[in-house]
Amino acid sequence: MWLFWQKATFLFILGRKPIMRPSIYSCVGMPTPMPACRSWNKPLKLAAWTCRNFIVARLLMSEKIMEAASMAEGAVEFMDGHAVETLHQDYRTAYRIEETLLHDKSDEQELFLFKNNFFGTMLMLDGVTQLTTSDEPFYHEFITHLPLICHGAPKRMLVVGAGDGGVIREACRHKDLDHIDMVEIDEAVVRFSMEHLPSLSNGAFDDPRMNLVIADAAEYVRGYQGPAYDVVVVDSTDPFGPAAPLFEVAFYEDLRRIMSDDGILVTQCGNPFVQPAELELAGGRLKECFPIMSPVMITVPTYTGGQMSLGFACKNPKFGLPSRTKIAQKLASIGPSDSFLVLNEDVFLASFALPNYVRKAGFDPLR
C-alpha cells in the first residue's frame, strides 16, 4: 500500500476485523478535480505507442507523471455522513463514517482516519483510500509471501517502506527467515501505525530478527556493502514526489547488486487498468534491469477499480514458478489455511496469469 505523509513520509496499515453489514455505494460522473496524478493515461499511452525509441517514450511518461502530480488537487469530500474517495474523476466511492478517529489537514496533505461498519478502520490521504483493517491482507499476503515462497529458502530480506508493519508481520511467519532489514524514511510512520493501527504489525517490530533502519532507501541501497538479500519487497508510494527515486533504473540496478544470485524483488505497480502508465513505467524499467520480470495481478476491494499489479523480478534467468504441491506445503508450514484471508496454492498461481490488456502492454506471464 502507499501513502505520502507530512512532507516525506510513507505510511501503510493492517488489521483483522470481521466483515459486517456493508455500507458502501458508488457515485458516477461527479465533476471534481482528479488527485494524485491519475490524468496522464491517454497522453502517456500515445507517447509510448508512437515513439519508436522506448527510452524516449518512458522519459515522456516520467515528465507527464511529474506534471500531473504537481497539479493534483486531491482532498477528502464529505457527503451525507460519508467520506467520498476522489481518486478518479469519472466515478466516486463513498464510505459511511461511523466514527472519526483523526482528521488532520496541513499544507502538505489531508489525513483522515475513521471507522466504517463494513471495512473497519479506514485511512484516507488526500481523498484516496490507503488501507482498511478489513481488506489489507488482500495486499500484504501477496506482496510478502509470493517472493518468499518462490525463492524457496530465503534467509535475508529487505523491506523498503511498509512502515505500517503489515509486510513484516507476514514475513515473520516464515520461521526459516533469519534476518529482516526494514528501511523506512520516517520513524513517525512506525509510531503512528503502532498507536492507531497496532493490529497491522501485530508485534512484528519486536521480533528479534527485525532490524528497523530510519533512512532514505535509495541512499541506503546505494551504499550497502553487507550480505546479499534473498528477497526484497518495495512497498512504496506512486512514482512521483518523494517516492520517485524508488522507480528509477539506478535504484533497481542498486537492488540487483545487493541481491543474491537467486534473489527476488517485488514492488507495487498500481492499478494496471486505472493507472496503466505506472505499470508501463515501473515494469519497463524492471525489465531493463532483471532477466526475469512479470506483473502479478491481485485484487484489493477498496482500491479504485478493485485491481492491483505488483512487479515481480528475479536475478536468476532460469527461474520457474514452484509447483502447486510445493506451494501448498510451504503455506501449510507457515500456518493453517484459516490464518490466510485470501492466499492458497490456487490463488497463488492464478495471480501470475495476465489479462490480455496487460500482455498487450508488453508483459509476458511467468510459467
Positions marked active-site:
235
Specify the amino acid at residue 340: F
Cell of 216: 532514505
DSSP 268: E
Q: Which residues contact 89 (CB under 8 A, 6 or more apart)?
A: 31, 32, 33, 34, 38, 39
Cα–Cα distance measured from residue 360 to residue 347, given in angstroms and rounded to the nearest whole number: 23
- Helix, strand or coil for residue 314? strand
| DSSP structure string for 140-198 | HHHHHHHHHHHHSS--EEEEEE-TTSHHHHHHTT-TT--EEEEEES-HHHHHHHHHH-H
Phi, psi for 246 (deg, rounded to 5)? -80, 0
- Helix, strand or coil for residue 114? strand
Cα–Cα distance measured from residue 177 to residue 155, given in angstroms and rounded to the nearest whole number: 5
Q: Is the distance from CB of 137 to CB of 17 less than 8 angstroms? A: no
Report strand pairing: 210-214 vs 179-184: parallel
Cα–Cα distance measured from residue 291 to residue 85, given in angstroms and rounded to the nearest whole number: 38
Cα–Cα distance measured from residue 6 to residue 106, given in angstroms and rounded to the nearest whole number: 8
Query: 232 forms bridges with which residues in the sheet?
Result: 158, 265
Using the CB atoms, write b or e for 225-246: b if 16+ within 10 Å.
eeebbbbbbbbbbbbbbbbbbb
Cell of 114: 475513521
Cα–Cα distance measured from residue 298 to residue 281, given in angstroms and rounded to the nearest whole number: 19
